């Protein structure tokens, strides 16, 4: 396994992080961190913020080191806007803009006490299914209980130093915002769901610069301006531009506010002793939170973490998603159509700075084929070391094996079967039991959960006009128009059904009929002429069976339809 461990990006980061942790804090748990803002649906781009440190932390744990993976829930961030397409939410939620996410009502009908908890819950459930172990930290709890009291007072005392760092970047022109591709090729920027989205650095007023922003005691919003602060007494005066409320509080005892983001983030690096935390590519620009944080963290006597930039996650098939979902696919959406190891593998096999796509369209079948081929190579010892490592990180964590399908039949085969049967379990079991008569499937539990994922994909993401509907009656007009050669091809197929009734046998039969008609042996290599004849034959079968020129793989379709019905539809 040593050769494998040296071969992938996760191991290389683990080496670096362990060495850095031993330099900074020998004998203490290694701290890896992620940050998520439950400001709306937490999407698959945000998941890279979690999976990158999870995979590194898990490798460190595999090596026997104590490690903590922190997920900071940025639930004390301001509610910035009402996200589109969220069920149970209308324009009335706009009145809560500027309040902490934990002070905003949850969508109508939600069992959760507030907005933040509603969106945290779905992500928490998905992370459990993905095998991600972490320590969750609520920033609402941290701030409102006074956990950061000393850090807030320290930041206010050193506000001139903070202002000087920020001033280096205020005159720099921000880079043009990355244009979004059409939703079907959407790039999901992880920063959209984190505190980094605001890129807030506080405001300079007549009273000076202050890195702390109170939430108003009148309206509860952050539309406040600090007008005075006394370092000795910690008395702070603020007024609210929204409702006009004003008060003077003692910051030593006042916990209804937070540091601005560009100060808050590096403060946490120092407070938690973070050694490893990635960030999105948006943080590579001058003046971004991560770049500023590298200088800011010294004010809190800390060091910046090892922080690789990670690329965007693309989505294919988004156009087919319901607009009621807001057009943003979440980990929960992905886990309905693919098993957890496959989703983990997509993040594990690519370096953080490599972009990749998650398929919600037909491409998911190819991804599953790739995964199955990798599993076979790992099993027979022919996989490359880096591929073995990525597979291991996908299939299991340091502490547990992820659930897997006992008989992992081809995803595209399962999808074809549930497509044709419309999910009828008795028909599905009949067809699957006939795929390999020597080793028949005797219970659908043998092919779950993969079968359920394929069924969910068919019912959710395959448009109705692409679903397979088997004809009820023969197409007499088409049958009557066939020439002698076409009639013979149908007879040869019908006559061979009983003796070839398995997936492998029917594959041989459907490819063999055009060979026989051309006077070629069954093992003849494909020629351009033979390929044309096979395609023509296949198109004829599809038209007679499903009234289209294409459809599911013919051997699977024939098994699904059944021999007697096939013969009847072929006019035999």
Task: Judge whether residue 189 has pLDDT over 70.
Answer: no
Each residue of 63-88: pLDDT tens digit? 999 999 999 999 999 999 999 889 99
What is the pLDDT at residue 172?
Answer: 59
In this structure, are 410 and 497 located in the same domain?
Answer: no
Residue 498: which CATH number? Answer: 1.10.10.350
Please give the Cα distance from 521 to 500 (Å, whole number): 17
Tell how strand 187-188 and strand 203-205 pair up: unpaired
Percent of the chain with pLDDT strictly greater than 90: 80
Q: What's the chain's average pLDDT?
A: 90
Largest CA distance in the chain: 102
In this structure, are 297 and 339 located in the same domain?
Answer: no
In this structure, are 42 and 142 located in the same domain?
Answer: yes
Rounded to an integer, the average pLDDT of 126-150 is 98
Rounded to an integer, the average pLDDT of 470-491 is 94
Is 241 a member of any domain? Answer: yes
Q: What is the three-class DSSP state of 236?
A: strand
What is the pLDDT at residue 318?
Answer: 65
What is the pLDDT at residue 321?
Answer: 42
In this structure, are 70 and 204 located in the same domain?
Answer: yes
Is 95 a member of any domain? Answer: yes
Is 90 a member of any domain? Answer: yes
Which of 179-193, 282-296, 474-488 is the least confident region?
Answer: 179-193
Nearest to 448 by CA among 411, 420, 406, 415: 406
Please give the Cα distance from 219 to 491 (Å, whole number): 80
What is the pLDDT at residue 371?
Answer: 98
In this structure, are 491 and 404 located in the same domain?
Answer: no
Q: Using an 8 Å Cβ cutoff, are 35 and 83 in contact?
A: no
What is the pLDDT at residue 7?
Answer: 53
Each residue of 116-131: pLDDT tens digit? 999 999 999 999 999 9
Confidence of residue 326 (pLDDT cuts 50, 70, 90): low
Of 294, 310, 326, at which residue does a domain stop? 310
In this structure, are 28 and 148 located in the same domain?
Answer: yes
Q: Using an 8 Å Cβ cutoff, are 116 and 237 in contact?
A: no
Q: What is the pTM of this model?
A: 0.89
- The sheet carrying 246-250 orders its strands as 224-229, 235-240, 246-250
Is 320 a member of any domain? Answer: no
In this structure, are 360 and 300 located in the same domain?
Answer: no
In this structure, are 80 and 176 located in the same domain?
Answer: yes
Between the alpha carbon of residue 460 and those of residues 47, 173, 318, 414, the distances in Å are: 22, 44, 11, 15
In this structure, are 19 and 113 located in the same domain?
Answer: yes
Each residue of 30-61: pLDDT tens digit? 999 999 999 999 999 999 999 999 999 999 99
Rounded to an integer, the average pLDDT of 328-342 is 95
Burial code (b: 16+ CB inside 10 Å, e: under 16) for 399-414 equals: eeeeeebebbbbbbbb
In this structure, are 417 and 554 located in the same domain?
Answer: no
Confidence of residue 465 (pLDDT cuts 50, 70, 90): confident
The number of folded domains in the chain is: 3
Rounded to an integer, the average pLDDT of 135-147 is 98
Residue 86: which CATH number? Answer: 3.40.50.620
3-state secondary structure string, 396-408? Answer: ECCCCECCCCCCC
Each residue of 538-548: pLDDT tens digit? 999 999 999 99
Rounded to an integer, the average pLDDT of 459-464 is 90
What is the pLDDT at residue 188?
Answer: 52
What is the pLDDT at residue 173?
Answer: 54
Is 520 a member of any domain? Answer: yes
Confidence of residue 195 (pLDDT cuts 50, 70, 90): very low
- Report which of residues 319 and 523 the model is more confident about: 523
Q: Using an 8 Å Cβ cutoff, are 156 and 213 in contact?
A: no
Task: Judge whether residue 324 has pLDDT over 90.
Answer: no
Is 318 a member of any domain? Answer: no
Of 310, 325, 343, at which residue does a domain stop? 310
In this structure, are 135 and 278 located in the same domain?
Answer: yes
Task: Judge whether residue 182 has pLDDT over 80.
Answer: no
What is the pLDDT at residue 200?
Answer: 63
Rounded to an integer, the average pLDDT of 330-352 is 97
- Report which of residues 203 and 572 the model is more confident about: 572
What is the pLDDT at residue 501?
Answer: 92
- Lookup: tokens for 476: 């007499």
User: Which long-range contacts does 511-517 make (Cβ < 8 Å, 24+ apart)?
Assistant: 513/489, 513/537, 514/489, 516/492, 517/485, 517/488, 517/489, 517/492
In this structure, are 196 and 59 located in the same domain?
Answer: yes
Of 414, 445, 465, at which residue does a domain stop? 465
Task: Judge whether residue 286 has pLDDT over 90.
Answer: no
CB count within 10 Å of CB 268 equals 27
3-state secondary structure string, 121-150? Answer: HHHHHHHHHCCCCCEEEEHHHHHHCCCCHH
Nearest to 453 by CA among 558, 341, 566: 341
Is 509 a member of any domain? Answer: yes
Is 179 a member of any domain? Answer: yes
- The residue segments making up the domain with residue 385 are 334-430+437-465
């Amino acid at each position: 396994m040593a050769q494998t461990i040296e071969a992938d990006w996760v191991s290389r980061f683990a080496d670096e992080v362990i060495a850095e942790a031993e330099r900074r804090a020998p004998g203490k748990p290694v701290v890896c961190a992620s940050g998520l803002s439950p400001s709306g649906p937490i999407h698959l781009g945000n998941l890279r913020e979690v999976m990158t440190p999870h995979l590194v932390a898990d490798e460190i744990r595999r090596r026997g080191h104590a490690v903590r993976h922190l997920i900071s829930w940025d639930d004390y961030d301001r509610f910035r806007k009402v996200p589109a397409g969220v069920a149970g939410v209308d324009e009335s939620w706009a009145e809560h803009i500027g309040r902490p996410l934990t002070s905003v009502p949850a969508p109508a009908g939600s069992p959760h006490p507030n907005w933040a908890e509603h969106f945290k819950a779905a992500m928490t459930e998905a992370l459990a299914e993905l095998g991600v172990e972490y320590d969750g930290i609520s920033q609402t709890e941290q701030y409102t209980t006074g956990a950061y009291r000393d850090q807030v007072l320290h930041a206010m005392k050193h506000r001139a130093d903070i202002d000087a760092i920020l001033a280096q970047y205020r005159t720099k022109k921000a880079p043009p915002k990355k244009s979004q591709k059409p939703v079907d090729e959407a790039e999901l920027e992880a920063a959209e769901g984190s505190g980094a989205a605001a890129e807030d650095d506080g405001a300079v007023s007549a009273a000076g610069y202050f890195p702390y922003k109170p939430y108003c005691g009148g309206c509860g919003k952050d539309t406040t301006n600090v007008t005075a602060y006394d370092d000795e007494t910690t008395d702070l005066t603020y007024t609210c531009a929204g409702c006009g409320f004003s008060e003077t509080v003692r910051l030593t005892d006042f916990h209804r506010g937070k540091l601005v983001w560009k100060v808050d983030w590096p403060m946490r690096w120092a407070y938690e002793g973070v050694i490893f935390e990635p960030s999105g590519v948006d943080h590579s620009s001058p003046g971004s939170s991560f770049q500023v944080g590298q200088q800011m963290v010294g004010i809190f006597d800390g060091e910046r973490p090892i922080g690789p930039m990670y690329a965007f996650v693309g989505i294919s098939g988004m156009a087919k998603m319901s607009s009621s979902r807001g057009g943003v696919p979440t980990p929960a959406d992905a886990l309905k159509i693919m098993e957890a190891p496959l989703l983990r593998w997509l993040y594990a096999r690519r370096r953080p700075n490599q972009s990749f796509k998650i398929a919600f369209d037909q491409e998911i079948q190819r991804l599953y084929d790739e995964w199955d081929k990798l599993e076979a190579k790992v099993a027979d010892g022919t996989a490359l070391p880096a591929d073995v490592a990525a597979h291991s990180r996908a299939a299991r964590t340091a502490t547990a094996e992820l659930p897997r399908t006992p008989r992992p039949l081809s995803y595209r085969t399962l999808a074809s079967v549930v497509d044709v049967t419309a999910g009828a379990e008795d028909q599905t079991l009949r067809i699957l039991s006939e795929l390999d008569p020597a080793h028949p499937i005797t219970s659908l539990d043998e092919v779950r959960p993969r079968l359920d994922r394929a069924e969910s994909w068919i019912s959710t993401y395959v448009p109705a006009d692409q679903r397979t509907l088997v004809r009820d009656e023969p197409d007499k007009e088409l049958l009557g128009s066939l020439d002698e050669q076409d009639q013979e091809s149908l007879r040869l197929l019908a006559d061979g059904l009983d003796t070839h009734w398995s997936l492998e046998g029917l594959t041989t039969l459907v490819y063999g009929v055009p060979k026989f008609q051309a006077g070629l042996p069954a093992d003849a290599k494909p020629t351009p002429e033979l390929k044309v004849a096979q395609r023509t034959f296949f198109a004829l079968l599809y038209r007679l069976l499903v009234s289209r020129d294409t459809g599911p793989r013919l051997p699977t379709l024939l098994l699904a339809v059944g021999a007697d019905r096939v013969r009847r539809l072929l006019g035999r």
